[in-house]
Amino acid sequence: MVMEIVCPAGTPASLRAAVKAGAHTVYCGFNDVTNARNFPGLNFDRAEMREGVAFAHAHGAKVLVAINTFPRAGAEDIWQRAVADAAAAGADAVILADPGLLDYAARNHPQIRRHLSVQAAAANADVINFYAETFGVKRVVLPRVLSVPEIAAINAETEVETEVFVFGGLCVMAEGRCSLSSYATGLSPNMNGVCSPASHVEYRDTGGVLDARLGGYTIHQVGKDEPAPYPTLCKGCFSASGKQGHLFEDPVSLNAEQLIPQLQRAGVTALKIEGRQRSRSYVAQVVRNFRAAVDALEAGQPLPVGMLARLSEGQATTTGAYKKTWR
Amino acid sequence: MELTVAPNPFFWAADDWEALYQDLTAAPVERVVLGELVCSKRLPFYQDRIPKVIESLQAAGKQVVLTSLALVTLKRERKLTAQLADLGLEVEVNDLTALAQLPRDLAFSVGPLVNVYNESTLRWLAARGATRISLPPELPLASVAVLARAGADCGVAVEVWGHGRVPLAISGRCYHARLHGRTKDNCQFACEEDADGLEVRTLEDQPFLTMNGVQTLSDRYACADYQIETLQGAGVSALRLSPQSSGFPDLCGLYRDRIEGRLAMGELAQRLQHKAPGLRLSDGFLTGESGADWSGTSR
C-alpha cells in the first residue's frame, strides 16, 4: 500500500493547497491553546474547520485535528469542547496526548478515531499497546528518539499504525517532555502550544555583534551583516566545560526523504511533514515532492534525489535519530 | 507535610551513591525514591548496592520507592522496567511504560516526569491504582491547588517539586557524549565527572542550564521557601527534594524546619545561600513569569 503523506495546514488556504498538491491527509488545529502550534494568525476557527473537512473529503483527502497540548487544570472544558467540535466537523481523527483527554474522547466520542500525538512520547511497543488497549488508539506518531531498526521492531510488536516525521523542524528533546521554553519565557509547548515564542525574542546590537535573545538569555550571536537565526532554545549556541557551540543541536532541520524506502520496510504507515507555520506554497511544494516519492516507490522506481534541500532551513539538514549515530 | 527524596538524577561513583543513602537514614524525610531515572547504562555500576541501601533505609523507618526510567526505548530497558515490581517495593512511574507493565492490582506512585496537568488525568491514574502523584515542576500554583483538591477527593496524595535543579527535558541524544565528540552508544560515561551536572552558560557567560547525559536541567536550584504556607493551605501532601553532592542531609533538615515553622519564610533560602555562597535559586514555575524567576531579593 502506498505510504500516506500527512501534511500540515496552518490556514484554510494551506489546507486547500495541500489537498490539491496531492496530500492524502492534512492535519490542523483550532486557533486556541488546544494545539501545539498555537501561533498568532494561524489555525482554524470552527466554521473554517467544517469547511476544510468538507473540502478535503470532496477531494478524497482526510483531515486530522491536533488537540495535543495538555489541558489546564480547572479549564479542561476548552479541550473537551475542541474534541466535540472536531467530531462534529466530521474530522477523520483527533490527535491527542493527554491521558485524561484520551479517556474523555474514548468515553464521549468513541466514533472519532484517536491518534496518539508525538507529544505523548510513546517510544516503545509496550506503552503503545497500552494506549491502544486503554483508549482505543489506532495510530501513534512516534517520538523523534528512535532509529529505523527500532521503529521496525515496534511495528513488529503492535497493530497500532505508526506515523513518523520526515521533513521540517526537528525537536531534539522528547516532545511533550520539555519545559525549556517555559523555564526561559513562561510559555511552553505543553501548556501554551508554543516554544521559544516570538513575543519573548529580542535582537540586540552590541557593538558590531547581533545578539538573538530569548527571555533575556542570549541564544545566538552573529556578526552584524550575517543572517541571525531565530533563537530556538535547543538550537542555540552555548558553552560548557570551556567548549562553545551548538551543544544540543545544530540549527538544522529534518529531511528523511532518502529513508522513505527503509521506513516503508520498517512497516511505517504514514509520513508526516512538520510546519503548520509554513506558507501554502511551501506546503504545496513539499507535498508534491513527497507524493512523487511515495508514488515512485510504489511503482518500483528510484526516488528523485535532493528534491527538497532548498526548502530546508538554512540548507543544513539531518536525518535525526533515524540514524543511530545521531544520539 | 512530608518530605520525599527524589531519585538522584546524576551519575555518581557507587561509593558516593551508597553514602548518600546511608546518610539519609538519619535525615528527617519520610520517603526515599531511588534507582536509575535518567540513563540505563549507569545502573550496572551501582545496582549491587541497592538491596543494602533499601534495607538500611527501611530499618531507619523510611518508605523506599523504586523509580522507573524516564524514557524507555530499548528492549533491555523494557525488561528492566518490567522487573521493577519484583523487589516488592512501591514503584514510581516516570514513563507510562512502567504503568503498562505493572501488575494491574498493584498500587503505585507517579513521578514528576509523567504529564499530570489536569484533574481528568489525575482521576484516571487514581482509578488505575495511583496513591501518590508528584506533579510536573512546570505547573503554576493555580494548577497545583486544583490538583491537590482533586487528589484529596480521590485519595491521592499530591506532591510538589520543592528543591533542586529542575528536570526540564529528556532526549534520545546524550549531550555529555556529544560534548566529548562521542555518540551515546560509545559515551565512555562522560557524565560521571559532573556530580551535579555540567553547567551550560550562554555566550554572555550567564549560567542557564545543566547538562546531565540525556537529561537537561535548570541551572538554578528550585526552592519552595516562599510558597510553603500556600502549598500547605492548598492541601499539598509532600515536598520533593532532589539530591545534590554536598550537604544534602542537612538541607533536608532545613526544609523540615521550614515546613514545621521553625524557620520563617525567606530564612530557608537565606540559610541555603549562606551554606553555598553564590547559590542561584528559582521558584518561577510556581509563582513567577518564567520558570527561572525567584521570589527572594538576593540574586
Average pLDDT over residues A42-67: 97
For residue A207, the model assigns a pLDDT of: 84
Average pLDDT over residues A109-125: 97
In a domain, B254, yes or no: yes
Contact call for B115 and A104, based on CB within 8 A = no
Hey, how many other C-beta atoms are within 10 angstroms of the C-beta on A227? 8
Confirm if A306 and A258 have CB atoms less than 8 A apart.
no
Whose cell is 519564610? That residue is B265
Residue A262 scores a pLDDT above 60: yes
- The enclosing domain of B61 has a CATH number of 3.20.20.70
Confirm if A138 and A150 have CB atoms less than 8 A apart.
no
Whose cell is 552508544? That residue is B185
For residue B119, the model assigns a pLDDT of: 98
Option in B124, B211, B291 nearest A182 (CB): B291
Option in B120, B168, B205 nearest A104 (CB): B120
Confirm if B169 and A173 have CB atoms less than 8 A apart.
yes
| pLDDT tens readout for residues B132-176 | 999 999 999 999 999 999 999 999 999 999 999 999 999 999 999
Question: Cell numbers of A319, please?
Answer: 536525518
For residues B43 and A116, what is the distance between their CA atoms, to the nearest angstrom?
31
Residues of B within 8 A of A218 (CB-CB) are 202-204, 206
Whether chain B has a CB inside 8 Å of the CB on A71: the answer is: yes
Residue A308 scores a pLDDT above 70: no
Confirm if A36 and A66 have CB atoms less than 8 A apart.
yes
In a domain, B199, yes or no: no
Residue B94: give the domain boundaries.
2-165+221-266
Confirm if B169 and A177 have CB atoms less than 8 A apart.
yes
| pLDDT tens readout for residues B107-138 | 899 999 999 999 999 999 999 999 999 999 99
For residue A138, the model assigns a pLDDT of: 98
For residues A285 and A282, what is the distance between their CA atoms, to the nearest angstrom?
5
For residue B197, the model assigns a pLDDT of: 98
Residue A312 scores a pLDDT above 80: no
Contact call for A183 and B285, based on CB within 8 A = yes
In a domain, B262, yes or no: yes
Query: Which own/partner pairs from B263-271 qualify as long-range (CB within 8 Å, at least 24 positions apart)?
Result: B265/B225, B265/B226, B265/B228, B265/B229, B266/B225, B266/B226, B266/B296, B267/B225, B268/B223, B268/B225, B269/B223, B269/B225, B269/B226, B269/B296, B269/B298, B270/B298
- A38 pLDDT band, cuts 50/70/90, is confident
DSSP conformation letters of B110-121: E-TTS---SHHH
In a domain, B276, yes or no: no
For residue B298, the model assigns a pLDDT of: 56
- Using a pLDDT cut of 90, give the percent of chain A over it: 78
- Using a pLDDT cut of 70, give the percent of chain A over it: 97
Q: Which residues contact B12 (CB under 8 A, 6 or more apart)?
A: B20, B46, B192, B195, B245
For residues B185 and B174, what is the distance between their CA atoms, to the nearest angstrom?
9
Hey, how many other C-beta atoms are within 10 angstroms of the C-beta on A106? 16
In a domain, B96, yes or no: yes
Q: How many domains does chain B have?
A: 1
In a domain, B146, yes or no: yes
Whether chain B has a CB inside 8 Å of the CB on A223: the answer is: no
Residue A129 scores a pLDDT above 90: yes
Give burial (CB, 10 Å; 0-12/13-18/19+) of B141. Answer: middle
Region of poorest pLDDT, from A224-233, B8-17, B24-33 = A224-233
- The CATH architecture of the domain made up of A4-170+252-326 is Alpha-Beta Barrel (3.20)
Full-model pTM: 0.96
Average pLDDT over residues B240-253: 97
Whether chain A has a CB inside 8 Å of the CB on B120: the answer is: yes
- Per-window interface: A 97-156 vs B, CB < 8 A: 97-101, 103-104, 121-127, 129-130, 143-146, 150, 153
Question: Cell numbers of A326, please?
Answer: 545521531
Whether chain A has a CB inside 8 Å of the CB on B71: the answer is: yes
Q: Identity (one letter) of the amino acid at A269?
A: T
For residue B235, the model assigns a pLDDT of: 98
List, in sequence order, the alpha helices (H) in chain B.
14-24, 50-59, 75-82, 96-101, 119-128, 141-153, 175-179, 228-234, 248-259, 267-275, 284-287
Q: Which residues contact A152 (CB under 8 A, 6 or more apart)?
A: A265, A266, A267
Residue A104 scores a pLDDT above 70: yes
- Domain ranges within chain A, ordered by starting residue: 4-170+252-326, 180-245
| pLDDT tens readout for residues A164-213 | 999 988 888 999 999 999 999 999 999 999 999 999 999 998 888 999 99
Whether chain A has a CB inside 8 Å of the CB on B200: the answer is: yes
Residue A315 scores a pLDDT above 80: no
Distance from CA of B282 to the nearest CA of A (A): 10
Residue B27 scores a pLDDT above 90: yes
Residue A145 scores a pLDDT above 90: no
List, in sequence order, the alpha helices (H) in chain A.
12-20, 46-58, 76-88, 99-108, 125-135, 148-156, 180-185, 189-192, 260-265, 280-298
Contact call for B117 and A190, based on CB within 8 A = yes
Residue B283 scores a pLDDT above 80: yes
Give the number of beta-carbon pairs within 8 Å between A and B: 217
Option in B118, B174, B201 nearest A238 (CB): B201
Region of poorest pLDDT, from A225-239, A299-313, B33-47 = A299-313
Question: Cell numbers of B171, please?
Answer: 532526549
Contact call for A237 and B138, based on CB within 8 A = no
